[in-house]
A = this chain, B = another copy of it.
């Protein structure tokens, strides 16, 4: 098929390569031309705008950071909507607000352009290994068309309902991930404060019902004090904000998520938004750290 891709970042780059590897032609738009070189070398076509990408494509993928980025790319000046033909499909794989997603789908639908929201879990490693879990919202006919393409990106494709449902599921996923990370950070902070060996306590927890992917991945970085991201904390900050906005709109109290949000806010406030989420443990340590009176 003729595919378009906008957002060749840490996630989008390997995903776009998998699509090309599946035998599809690719048009793309990048702000910095050098970011497109590996793709033009592989036979893909650089375009001057999202509209130009859409003109050449049956299906346009977007994989960018936030709600405003997607809105700009799809509805902005020289946006996808200006180039896309009726009957074409937009698949947004970014993690953005479910309410904004529904509005985008309605605007595109008025021009007979289908949309799927299809955010993912698995991170850069999952994108590279094509092992992403993909959460889909939108019409079944669009998913039927998209399925062979999405299968190039990951084995697990779960259809959750109409447009916005994929983003809502992603918000729930991120909420569980973040509260679990806060719990792991608190457990390891207590272990450290009690003088225990953190790696041994982590092994205990991995062997027990407290075991989690978060403990495996972020827990290891908490123990080794390796706070180089992975996925930068500012992205979790955005994602948990989406989940809490959703709860706010629905009048649903989520106390542990709210407490966790305050900690991620503090990470950002301290200028650590590009660190790994595992840096959460340092907040707890610093909050209760004894201050040497000779230093004050």
Chain A positions near chain B (C-beta within 8 angstroms): 98, 121-123, 133, 135, 156, 158-161, 165, 168-180, 182-184, 186-191, 193-197, 200-201, 203-205, 207-215, 217, 243, 246-247, 250-257, 259-260, 262-263, 284, 287-288, 290
CB pair A252 B284 closer than 8 Å: yes
Besides the known contacts A159-B200, A179-B182, A182-B256, 12 further A-B residue pairs in the complex with CB atoms under 8 A apart: A121-B204, A123-B209, A158-B203, A169-B201, A171-B190, A172-B204, A173-B210, A179-B183, A180-B180, A186-B254, A190-B243, A211-B212
Other-chain residue from B133, B188, B214, B251 in contact with A204 (beta carbon distance below 8 A): B133
Knowing A183-B257, A203-B158, A255-B259 are in contact, say whether A190-B175 is a contact too (CB < 8 A). yes
Interface SS majority for chain A: helix
CB distance from A119 to the nearest CB of B (A): 10
Known A172-B205, A253-B287, A256-B186: A210·B158 in contact at CB below 8 Å: no
For A160, give its contact among B179, B200, B247, B256 (CB under 8 Å). Answer: B200
Contact partner, A256, options B133, B165, B183, Cβ 8 Å: B183
Copies in the complex: 2
A22 to B287, CA, bound (A): 49
Bound complex: CA A211 to CA B177 (Å): 8
Q: How far is the CB of A130 from chain B (nearest CB, A)?
A: 14
Residue of B nearest to A133 (CB): B207
**Nearest Cβ on chain B to A288's Cβ, whole angstroms:** 5
CA distance A247 to B285 in the complex (A): 12
Residue of B whose beta carbon sits closest to that of A256: B182
> B173 to A205, Cβ gap below 8 A?
yes
If A180-B212, A183-B178 touch, whether A204 touches B173 (CB-CB below 8 Å) is yes
How far, in whole Å, are A278 and B160 apart by their CA atoms in the complex? Answer: 23
- Identify the interface centre among A158, A174, A178, A254: most chain B CB within 10 Å of its CB: A254
A-B contact pairs, 11 of them (CB 8 A): A98-B194, A121-B210, A133-B208, A169-B200, A171-B190, A172-B196, A176-B205, A176-B215, A180-B210, A210-B213, A256-B259
Contacts of A168 in B (CB 8 A): 190-191, 194, 196
- Chain B residues contacting A207 (CB-CB under 8 Å) are 121, 133, 156, 158
Bound CA–CA A215/B290 (angstroms): 36
CB-CB under 8 A for A211 and B210, given A133-B204, A252-B193, A256-B186:
no
A197 to B186, CA, bound (A): 31
Asked if residues A250 and B183 are in contact (CB atoms below 8 Å), the reply is no
B254 touches A204 (CB 8 A): no
- For A171, list chain B residues within 8 Å (CB): 190
